[in-house]
Structure 1
Amino acid sequence: MAEMLALNLVVVGLAFILWAIKPSLRICAIDLNPGWKFLSALIIGFVFAYIAFAIYLLRINQVQFIDTVLALLLFFGGLFVVIVVNFSLNSIVKIDKIAEQEHFNAKHDSLTGLPNRSCFLHHLSEKIDAKHPFALLLLDLNNFKQINDVIGHYYGDQLLVELAKRIRAILPTEVLFSRIGGDEFTLIVNSTRHQDLESICSDIHMALKQPIEIQGLSLTTSMSIGVSLCPEHAQESTLLLRQADIAMYESKRKASLLAVFDSGLNKDASAKLQIASRLESALNNDEFEMHYQAIVHSENHELHGMEALIRWPQSDGSFIAPDLFIPIAEQSSVINDISKWVLKQCRQDRQRLINAGMDVRIHINLSARDLQNQNVVKHMQQEFGQASSEAEKFVFEVTESAMMSNLELVKTNMMATSKLGFEFSVDDFGTGYSSLSLLRELPIHQIKIDRSFIMDMQNGNTEHSIVRSTIYLAHALDCSVVAEGVETNVASLELQNLGCDFQQGYYFSQALPIDKAITASLINAISQQ
């Protein structure tokens, strides 16, 4: 009986030791520390020791008390070894998984799971060092800030997640798809052929055409894509990324499928830098001037107001377009100084209009930066005083995209400005991302229908229906309507029939300096009599 007990204890202990061999070898494979290899060797040595003691027990005639004690020690020793080794393996695997996850997190975006900027730059450097031609594509989500401001960051984040899934699903496996920040993504493509790049971009645009459903809300978006080529355009990471960024903004400007960088775009970037460096001196040297375009009543074409449009004349007789220098000014505090100058100049020019017998309203364009400026209301108060009657003669025109740029701050500033007596008009209505319910919440008094709808109104039922519906809805919101881009008598008569309140365009007058604008208005007034 004692012989069987001792032998069973040794055999079970040997089984424990044999059980510990596999996990100990796994530990050695995971952790290269020599201590684990030494432990594995000891375990294998224990196997021979256990076998030798088991043979000894089989050969002796009578098991002594000390033999039973040794057998018991070997049993618990084997149990101890297997427990320690398995617990050690589990701990090492856990630590290894945590380290692996941390390594993954360090190189991947937490929201989308895509490689992050650090990982992207590492792969980009490796691709450059490999000396094989490739293309870098920079993707930027259009109107993402407006989406965040209007419906919230949660929906914006979910939009990015779903968008990343869709794009990843249609990309070839060898393409590295990364998110480098905000709404910017990159692709590294192992081809520089225009057909291949166009095919990938076309697939991306097609994938985004289907609305993305997020908790019952349907969102539609698009991307602007800029391309730079290595080694054709550059062989340095920062320069390649900058060139792709320049091309991406060209794609955004043209609303094209993609834009490939070229030296001409680089010259444009240099020209913009030159304009930026000249803006402040142009303001100090009084180089800007205001031109005014008439806004007339639809029924009788009498003058109702004038839109003030800033111009920057050059010494050679040409002009730098506001569409070029205003966005550049918006990137710095110069835009605030320009806006102050415009307001002061418009007050002076309106006095000249009054002296000429034309007490009409002046429409002034406000930029997104103006609407977000926390001091804009304070400046208005300093310029006009509290609830000035003069303020009622000025209408601030704001675009839909400008209103969406920082909704809460914009709403606060618009409300405070409206209390001073100013009115607001939504410029280029129909081209932005606003909603009619939002317009009801803001102090909007007027809607200006974008010229693209007016100019195409005679060409199709769709544009005509849009114009008719916009006029109806604006009136329902107690807003007057101005139609921009009126260039023919036919369009003017049709707008009158549709109930449009006011009209503006080359059919009545182009934008003119104040003296010529006064003369043209006086001549028009005489001809109407």
Structure 2
Amino acid sequence: MQQIAKIKQDKSIRPRLIWACLSVALLVSAIYVTVSYRLTADITVRSELKAMGHITSLVSNELSQVKDTDEVDSTLNEILLSAVNNPAFITVTTPAQQWHKNLLISSAKRSTLLQLVAEAEDNAEPIEVDGNTFLWQQHKIGQHKIGQYQITFVQQTQALDITLEFVAKRLLVTSIIVFWIAVWLALTLASLIARRAEQVNESLAYIATHDSLTGLPNRLYLIELLENSLGPTTDATNTPVDEGCLLIIDLDRFKEVNDSFGYAAGDTLLKEIARRVSVLIRAPAELIRTGGDEFFIWAPDYTIEQAKTLSLEIVNSCNYPTLINGLTVNSGASIGISHYPSQANDTAGLIVCADTAMHKAKAMRSGWQVYDNKKIADYKDILQLRAELSDALAQQQIILYYQPKVDLATGEVTGAEALCRWQHPRLGLLGPGEFIDLIEHSGKVQEFGRYIIASAAAQAVQWYSDGLLVPIAINLSPYNLLDPGLADFIGETLNRYQIPPQFIEIELTENETCINIDYIQSALAQIRELGVSLAIDDFGTGMSSLAYLSELRVNVLKIDRAFICDLTTNQGHRAIIAAAVTLSQSFGCDMVAEGVETQEQARLLYEMGCRAAQGFLFARPMPAKAFRGLLSQQKPQFTDAF
């Protein structure tokens, strides 16, 4: 696969560099011309002025030899013709007479030049007339035979023309050299910059598409990979596949490892899992880490059966203990599998299907599951539901239904279990099985847990103020126990509503309480100190409950419905229930049977020593108003149930 999310290069860098270097070359040439011109012109002017000074001296010497004024004119003419090549004139002025001798200059121009010379301050000041430049020399001579006189020598200079010719010849060669150097420099710099940009681009692309911890590709890479694999692409090196499987791997107890042993231990575990899984897959399959404890595998050309085989190998590998800082950690993993194109034909669909299957695998503790919802389009509903979760909490669409707990001896309602429902504006009333997984994996689980606690407390205080003394049990996810402020929030809620703590009960799924006994014990101890009752839900389904039960010090054990449904026919389940009753009595706990649906089940439970139950035999979960009506009955509510 070619570079992912390639950083754009500036294709105009080469011509821009060429223009920049040529501009510098032009500037250098201009400076060279200016300096050379001025320098050469100054030198030439000085040279001409020096020569004119010699001529003026020559005139002065010759005039000193003349015997009368008649010889002045011929002397000037002789000197001018023999010593001067450029247009010029010499004027000799005495108090009584003035002599002029012109060479290629008109009398009118001579008069103009004489006037300008008279106005000039010194000999170094050139004179401009009709676009021509003239240099001049003027000397005053003392008393001679012809009297006191002044010599004025004006000559048109060729210095600028000579200079221009001098500079032009050298400028041509210099400019060619400078411009070639400029182009070469521009091309060299452009090549170096392009090479450096390519290196930086590769580095940035790698950083953008790879996980810094494990070195694996990340989510950006995954999306690009799937887009190229599932449909037409402009990259000729990528060919769409006919089929393939997407696997999502989620570590079962990674959060607990982080909280118990620190983030460094969690990072070590992630790197070890990445190493193990990388060994198991073969190209063209690719392992990707998208963040947290979640990994993806895109396996092009894999069938579902091949994906199942790979998933089994990965689960077994993840179940193998990992030694971290001298401690043995067993993370486990749940894997969801989706298949292209039979289950989804686009990137979003494949990811949602695999994510749904992974959550099912986690709930069933089956290791891996293949997406098999009854409707292939379900994943689109899941996507929309996930997007609507924020509105559900903000608009109080999550409501509570209540199922009564009944005293099997009297038929009276002794408590209620709060069960959440989503009053969806489009889909109607949704049960928890349709959205709880979405909440637990949306980052809103703690917000959701606090919302449920506050809602149940508000209802409890309303019933309490009406004289209806009914404790409410609230189901909390193990993820809620990872909320460091949970106990403080419960305490603040009790104070805000002025409700006795014994009217609130916290229920935890028994299997989840065994993930990290130290952390769970600490979290539950804080809640217990508030006076709130604690219950273990689905008791009997976990593997470690007997070892940890004495440590957790709970108030209520709720026997799972799995043991109740065939109570009348399954001797083994009756034995388990009897043992659970004895166990609860030994630890001073109350016992509640869940899922009671027949009078015979209720009778047998009572005979075995179970004194409380809930289930469809008594009532289905109902809105608060209906439950309020049930509580308002004068006689015991369910005396006819058994």
Instruction: Answer whether TM exceeds 0.5 for this pair.
Output: yes
Q: Is the 8 A contact 1:176 1:189 kept in 2?
A: yes
Structure 2 counterpart of 1:484: 594
Per-residue deviation at 1:289?
Answer: 4.6
Q: In the alignment, does 2:503 pair up with 1:393? A: yes
Answer yes or no: is the 8 Å Cα contact 2:243–2:300 preserved in 1.
yes
Distance 1:406 1:374, change over 3 A: farther
| Residue pairs, 1:155-174, within 5 angstroms | 173-174=282-283
Aligned mates of 1:316, 1:177 — CA distance in 2: 39
- Does structure 1 residue 227 correspond to structure 2 residue 338? yes
Pairs within 5 Å for 1:130-169: 130-141=239-250, 143-145=252-254, 148=257
For residue 287 of structure 2, the aligned residue among 161, 168, 178 is 178
Q: Matches of 2:577 and 2:435 in 1, distance apart?
A: 31
> Does the CA contact (< 8 Å) of 1:150 and 1:407 recur in 2?
no
| Counterpart code for 2:340 | L
**Aligned partner letter, 1:339:** I
Question: Does the 8 Å contact 1:144/1:156 carry over to 2?
Answer: no
Matched, 1:346 2:460: yes
- Residue correspondence of structure 1 range 285-304 to structure 2 within 5 A: 289-304=399-414
CA 1:118–1:149 in 2, change beyond 3 Å: closer, same or farther?
closer
Equivalent residue letter for 2:337: G
2:342, 2:417 → 1: CA distance?
A: 49
8 Å contact kept, 1:228–1:247: no
Q: Where does structure 1 lack aligned partners over 5 or more consecutive residues?
A: 1-104
SS in 1 for 2:377: helix
State the match for 1:50 in structure 2. none
Amino acid at match of 1:351: S
8 Å Cα contact 1:227-1:248 kept in structure 2 = no
Distance 1:108 1:334 in 2: 31
The change in CA–CA distance for 1:479 and 1:157 in structure 2 (over 3 A counts) is farther
Structure 2 residues without counterparts, runs of 5 or longer: 1-205, 231-237
Matched, 1:384 2:494: yes
Q: Which structure 2 residues correspond to residues 84-99 of structure 1 after superposition, within 5 A?
A: none
Q: Which amino acid aligns with 1:337?
A: Y
1:70 is matched with which residue? none
Cα 1:497–1:191 change in 2 (3 A) is: same
Structure 1 segment 108-507 matched on structure 2, within 5 A: 117=218, 121=222, 129-141=238-250, 143-145=252-254, 148=257, 173-174=282-283, 176=285, 178=287, 180=289, 183-201=293-311, 207=316, 221=332, 223-229=334-340, 233=344, 241=351, 244-252=354-362, 257-260=368-371, 263-283=376-396, 289-313=399-423, 318-329=428-439, 331-332=443-444, 334-335=447-448, 336-352=450-466, 354=467, 358-368=468-478, 370-385=480-495, 390-400=500-510, 403=513, 411-432=521-542, 435-507=545-617
Q: Deviation at 1:482? A: 0.9
In structure 1, C-alpha distance between the alignment counterparts of 2:342 and 2:332, rounded to whole Å? 32
Say if 1:234 and 1:440 are closer, same or farther in 2 by CA, change over 3 A.
same
Specify whether residues 350 and 512 from structure 1 end up closer, same or farther in structure 2 by C-alpha distance, changes over 3 A only. Answer: farther
* Equivalent residue letter for 1:264: A
| Residues 425-434 or 493-502, more deviating | 425-434
SS of the equivalent of 1:359 reads coil
When residues 326 and 229 of structure 1 are mapped into structure 2, their CA distance, relative to the original with a 3 A threshold, is: closer
Q: Distance in 2 between matches of 1:282 and 1:108?
A: 39
Structure 2 Cα separation of the partners of residues 227 and 373 of structure 1: 32
Q: Kindly indicate whether structure 1 or structure 2 has the higher relative contact order, using CA contacts under 8 Å at least 6 residues apart.
A: 1
Q: Is the 8 A contact 1:117 1:178 kept in 2?
A: no
CA gap of 1:142–1:466, structure 2 versus 1, over 3 A, is farther
Are the counterparts in 2 of residues 178 and 185 from structure 1 also a CA contact under 8 Å?
A: yes
**What are the superposed Cα offsets for residues 92-128 of structure 1, whole Å, 9 maximum, x if unpaired?**
xxxxxxxxxxxxx9999999x9955499759778867
Q: Is the 8 A contact 1:162 1:212 kept in 2?
A: no
The structure-2 alpha-carbon separation of the partners of 1:217 and 1:463, relative to structure 1 and needing over 3 Å to count, comes to farther
Q: With structure 1 as the length reference, what TM-score do the two structures score?
A: 0.62
With over 3 angstroms needed to count, the CA separation of the structure-2 counterparts of 1:359 and 1:192, relative to structure 1, is same
Distance 1:146 1:431 in 2: 22
Given residue 249 of structure 2, which amino acid in structure 1 is its aligned partner? Answer: D
Residues 304-313 or 217-226, more deviating: 217-226
Kindly tell me: are residues 174 and 362 of structure 1, through their superposed partners in 2, closer, same or farther at Cα, counting changes over 3 Å?
Answer: closer
> How far did 1:329 drift?
4.7
The equivalent residue for 1:67 is none
| Higher helix fraction (1 or 2) | 1
| 8 Å contact from structure 2 (residues 408, 606) kept in 1 | yes
Which letter does structure 1 place at the counterpart of 2:621? A
Scaled by the length of structure 2, the TM-score of the pair is: 0.53
| 8 A Cα contact 1:483 1:504, kept in partner | yes
SS of match in other structure, 2:240: coil
What secondary structure is seen at the aligned counterpart in 2 of 1:319?
strand
Instruction: Give the alignment's Cα RMSD to 1 decimal.
Output: 4.7
In the TM superposition, residue 427 of structure 1 has moved relative to its aligned partner by: 1.6
Is this contact kept in 2: 1:389–1:421, CA < 8 A?
Answer: no
Measured after TM superposition, the shift of residue 460 of structure 1 is 3.2
Q: Aligned residue for 1:40?
A: none
State the one-letter code of the partner of 1:488. Answer: T
Please report how far the alpha carbon of residue 503 of structure 1 lies from its aligned counterpart in structure 2 after TM superposition.
1.1
- For the Cα contact (< 8 Å) 2:537–2:558, is it kept in 1? yes
Could you tell me whether the CA contact under 8 Å between 1:146 and 1:433 is conserved in 2?
no
Structure 1 residue 402: Cα displacement: 5.9
Q: What is the one-letter code of the residue matched to 1:500?
A: C
Distance between the aligned counterparts of 1:228 and 1:192, measured in 2? 9
Contact 1:381 1:420 in 2 (8 A): yes
Distance (whole Å) between structure 2 residues aligned to residue 380 and residue 118 of structure 1: 37
> 1:310, 1:118 → 2: CA distance?
33
